[in-house]
Structure 1
Amino acid sequence: MSELIYLSATEARALFAKRALSPVELLQALIERTEQVEPEVNAFTERLFDEALVAAAQAEARYLGKGPAPRPLEGIPVAAKEKHAIAGRSLTEGSLINKGNVAAENAPVIDRILDAGGIIHARTTTPEFSISAFTHTPMWGVTRNPWNPDYTPGGSSGGSAAALAAGTALLATASDIGGSTRIPAAFTGTVGFKAPYGRIPGTPPLSMDFYRGDGTLARTVDDTILFANVLIGPDPRDHTSLRPRIALPTEYEPAAGMRVALCVRLGDYDVKPDVERNTRAAADALAQAGVVVEEIELPWTRAEVGRATSMHFGAIFGALVQDVVGDQRDLVAPYTAAFLDWAAKAADRGSFLDGLRIETRMQRELAEAMAGFDALLCPTAAIPALPVGDDLIGEFEVDGHRFARFSDATMTTPFNINNRCPVLAVPSGHGDNGVPTGVQIVGHTYDDATVFRLGKELERVRPWAYAENHRPAL
């Protein structure tokens, strides 16, 4: 079983095609693994095993030549973030306020998975309303990092990333409005893709928020490409989704001769030594592969990032959450109440237009800094992990480093401000506490292929696969 649960999706599909493995056999291994580890990890909100086994048997028949040809994700088990609606099933976003809510239709990413033959066998945890970089709620309890249960797998797609790390899913859906795909990828040693705005269709009304987008989590770059190619493309429910549909290449030339800008602090982020060490090791590995790496600085500050995001979230995301919560604040988590208070004060810090002025300046500064380079490389988070179960309201400390808020410990939000840039988050090593760390590969606007070319190169020269000697000790 141990080898099956950590198969990559591309490996599994190849074995299915050769009839060396059955989709039913693979799913049964994941179900057995779930029974072993879920009591500790707590990544799943709902198990859909009975329906999934039926779908796996149908997929097996396709590979045996009985019926239509196999589709791109035929027979691959996929864990879906609970906020990605499935018609007829709960849609609570982890909030007691939404208890009993049932989705009327599938989210676009769910339709894409099912149409491609993917099997949604479980749904995954998030923080309430997906508003935090950790994953725990009054509704679902605490989700733990499989690498070290004293730490969170991140958020808001923490359950999805934890399932991949624990070996209970091969692919998982994610979303990203401030780092919700990339932070969990870094904390769990997985791969997360924040597609450029509009590349993957979303659900209204937040599909109109140019900070956010739905995306992918996987354990390898090839799996991320496979999954992204299924999700990419326009959908009439999301007018921002881009035409024409593109297909990411599955094969890439070696990265030798490419130029990469290394920026360790993105201005004034307080990066822990073990994170910096791993980031520089990733840059050195690319340099040894023939990539030209040059270190640069950016004039950004956490204060101005905080001002821009405060005004943005106050006007859009915070307003939406407040609309749902109404006068039922007694039912929400403490961190949700704190978020609503923070968002409500956004107008005191400036107008939405003031935020746009900061955002456009940061976008120009990034474009100018990246001129002459193919991509930028930087840490995903300033620390290897956040403590599990902590609401992180106000100032907190991690290994002697003090942070005013958890967004000061993560380094993802600048690229939600620069959300036309594709970002591939890949592992960079392990922190001193044993929890994985990660780097972001940031491309020029809508230049998706470049981040995957560099991600493939980095995976080749610094392999991070969940091999038998490199897995959580669950």
Structure 2
Amino acid sequence: MSDPTSWTVPDVLAGYRNQSLSPVEVMATTLKRIADLNPHYRAVAHVFADRAMEQAHTAEHLYRTDPDAARPLEGIPVLVKEDEAIRDDPWTQGSTIYRSLVADHTAPFVQRILDAGAIIHGRSAAPEFSSAAFTQSSLWGVTTNPWNPRYSSGGSSGGSAVALATGMTLLATGSDLAGSIRTPSSFNGTVGYKPPHGRVPVDAPFNLDRYCHCGPMARTVADCLTLQRIIAGPHPDDLASQLPPAPSAAPSQWRVGVITGQDWPVDPEIADNTRALGQALAATGISVEEMALPVQRDDVIDAAAIHYDAIFGAALTHESDQHPDQINPYVPEFARWAAQRRGTRSFLDGLAIEAALQSKIAPLFQQFDALVLPAVATRGFLAGDDYVGHGLEVGGTTLSFYMEALPSILFNVLSAHPALTIRSGFANNDVPTGVQIVGRAYDDNTPFAIALHLQRAATVPTTWPTLPTPSSDV
């Protein structure tokens, strides 16, 4: 069979229907890919091989006997990030503390994936409690970047991004509290989408945290959009969930603002690649203007730290206090950083900073339909480094905490804005770079439409990393 990284969801579904491809073949190839490559990259935490093959046989029979009854993702392999619950499956959350925990329910958006006929053949690895922008834990080891294993996959949805880049799945899910979909998508050259808050239903109580989002990850924009359409929309278990958006502007009407850095230090090749992607957009006839980001990095980080300290940081502190001998060091470090950065300021003080940020960003969307800016400011985090006790140099500036290298955090703070990450090129260490295409509040359509436009114009690189040689073909 062909290289799985060349597969797309429409092509695979078409192959199922015309009998040129079978769900059994696809699943067998996917599982072998995991067996061959996962020891190198540690992207997949749990594999459900026997169950997946049984479900693939069922899907194959359906396509042969009653193809009209096939559901939208019938027989498509999907990895679900291990922080999302699936009834009767392990729910370790990357932690040895919950090594034996089995979920008693299924997260609402994951149930939609199952109801669409997808086969969840495994769970993608995440850092403990998804609390880092890299993916490593004492439970699963270090998830490395397949383009350059000296570097991290990014996180916290790093397992999903690496599995996509290496053909260990066709679709995957991620969660994003501080860029956790967009960071690994950028570092691995894949596509990841942070929906507006409420677009995809999330488990309580984090459904009520405006910074918290779950979304789709894929190798192509079209595949990412396919999964987003499955998981989006209101759900009775999530009172914050909302209806999908109305259609957006036609391509000839788009106005795009491109931001390469300014107050946010950015490694030079990332700025260059962001600018080049803007030029590629302009070459297709889109109105593009390079501009400055009208907010200060310190304000964004202050707002985020106050929020994290009050909610996510409090949860991490509780786990660290209860299990001090089992916790990975980066877990309490995140909580410590948020608390120290917050200082004596109240949650209300944080909301005031958020409102001020929104007042500066809102006028941009009077002028532009979308903003394009780096998803990550750094060319990479070193694999195995937990970034405890030291900062990170980015674009000639030393940041006291590595999380401050994530411009993506701005659109967790301003959580109503959708942000879609696509590849923009490569850094000089061979690690991919990415941009986030950010739309107006609750306008999911425009980021996808712009990315599809770029993809059709063949301006987004589509190569995949050179991988260790498999033991044999299926």
Q: TM over 0.5, yes or no?
A: yes
CA contact (8 A) 1:193 1:224 kept: yes
Residue from 446, 451, 454 that aligns with 1:458: 454
Structure 2 match to 1:17: 17
Letter in 1 for 2:360: E
Structure 1 match to 2:472: none
Out of 43-52 and 329-338, give the one that drifted further.
329-338
Q: Relative to 1, partners in 2 of residues 1:454 and 1:67: Cα closer, same or farther, differing over 3 Å?
A: closer
Residue from 407, 410, 414 that aligns with 1:414: 410
Structure 2 match to 1:473: 467
Residue from 305, 310, 314 that aligns with 1:319: 314
CA separation in 2, counterparts of 1:417 and 1:466? 31
Residue from 246, 255, 260 that aligns with 1:259: 255
Identity of aligned residues (%): 41
Q: How does 1:70-81 map to 2 (within 5 A)?
A: 70-81=70-81
1:178 aligns with 2:178: yes
1:358-408 Cα shifts (integer Å, max 9, x gaps): 111111211112312111111111122211110112313468653221122
Q: How does 1:238-387 map to 2 (within 5 A)?
A: 238-242=238-242, 244-245=243-244, 255-265=251-261, 267-345=262-340, 347-387=342-382
Q: 1:6 Cα deviation (Å)?
A: 3.1
Q: 1:464 Cα deviation (Å)?
A: 4.0
Out of 333-342 and 148-157, give the one that drifted further.
333-342
Structure 2 match to 1:120: 120
CA separation in 2, counterparts of 1:246 and 1:342? 36
DSSP 3-state at the match of 2:303: helix
Structure 1 match to 2:471: none
CA separation in 1, counterparts of 2:140 and 2:399? 27
Q: 1:331 Cα deviation (Å)?
A: 1.2
Structure 2 match to 1:44: 44
Out of 79-88 and 319-328, give the one that drifted further.
319-328
1:299-323 Cα shifts (integer Å, max 9, x gaps): 3222111211111001011112223
1:449 aligns with 2:445: yes
Q: How does 1:112-261 map to 2 (within 5 A)?
A: 112-242=112-242, 244-245=243-244, 255-261=251-257
CA contact (8 A) 1:329 1:337 kept: no
Letter in 2 for 1:270: P
CA contact (8 A) 2:199 2:232 kept: yes
DSSP 3-state at the match of 1:169: coil
Q: 1:32 Cα deviation (Å)?
A: 1.5
Give TM-score scaled by structure 2 length. Answer: 0.94
1:34 aligns with 2:29: no
Q: 1:463 Cα deviation (Å)?
A: 4.4
Out of 297-306 and 154-163, give the one that drifted further.
297-306
Out of 25-34 and 1-10, give the one that drifted further.
1-10
Out of 220-229 and 320-329, give the one that drifted further.
320-329
CA contact (8 A) 2:166 2:467 kept: no
CA separation in 2, counterparts of 1:329 and 1:336? 10
CA contact (8 A) 1:307 1:349 kept: no
Q: Relative to 1, partners in 2 of residues 1:247 and 1:99: Cα closer, same or farther, differing over 3 Å?
A: farther
Letter in 2 for 1:261: G
1:172-209 Cα shifts (integer Å, max 9, x gaps): 01011110000011000000011001000001111100
Q: 1:349 Cα deviation (Å)?
A: 4.3
CA contact (8 A) 1:378 1:439 kept: yes
CA contact (8 A) 1:286 1:461 kept: no
Q: 1:248 Cα deviation (Å)?
A: 7.8
CA contact (8 A) 2:265 2:394 kept: no
CA contact (8 A) 2:268 2:395 kept: no
DSSP 3-state at the match of 2:159: helix
CA contact (8 A) 2:125 2:135 kept: yes
1:98 aligns with 2:94: no
DSSP 3-state at the match of 1:256: helix
Out of 318-327 and 228-237, give the one that drifted further.
318-327
CA separation in 2, counterparts of 1:94 and 1:12? 31
Flag structure 2 segments of 5+ consecutive residues without an equivalent. 469-474
Q: What is the alpha-carbon root mean square deviation over aligned residues?
A: 1.9
1:144-183 Cα shifts (integer Å, max 9, x gaps): 1111111111100000001001110000010111100000
Structure 1 match to 2:387: 392
CA separation in 2, counterparts of 1:397 and 1:373? 32
Q: 1:453 Cα deviation (Å)?
A: 0.8
CA separation in 1, counterparts of 2:265 and 2:61? 54
Aligned length: 467
CA contact (8 A) 1:269 1:408 kept: no
Letter in 2 for 1:455: A
DSSP 3-state at the match of 1:457: helix
Letter in 2 for 1:272: D
Letter in 1 for 2:272: R
Q: 1:282 Cα deviation (Å)?
A: 0.5
CA separation in 2, counterparts of 1:140 and 1:442? 33
1:299-356 Cα shifts (integer Å, max 9, x gaps): 3222111211111001011112223343322211111121232334455241111111
Out of 321-330 and 8-17, give the one that drifted further.
321-330
CA separation in 2, counterparts of 1:108 and 1:68? 26
CA contact (8 A) 1:229 1:247 kept: no
Q: Relative to 1, partners in 2 of residues 1:307 and 1:4: Cα closer, same or farther, differing over 3 Å?
A: closer
CA separation in 2, counterparts of 1:248 and 1:80? 29
Q: 1:472 Cα deviation (Å)?
A: 3.2
CA contact (8 A) 1:78 1:172 kept: yes
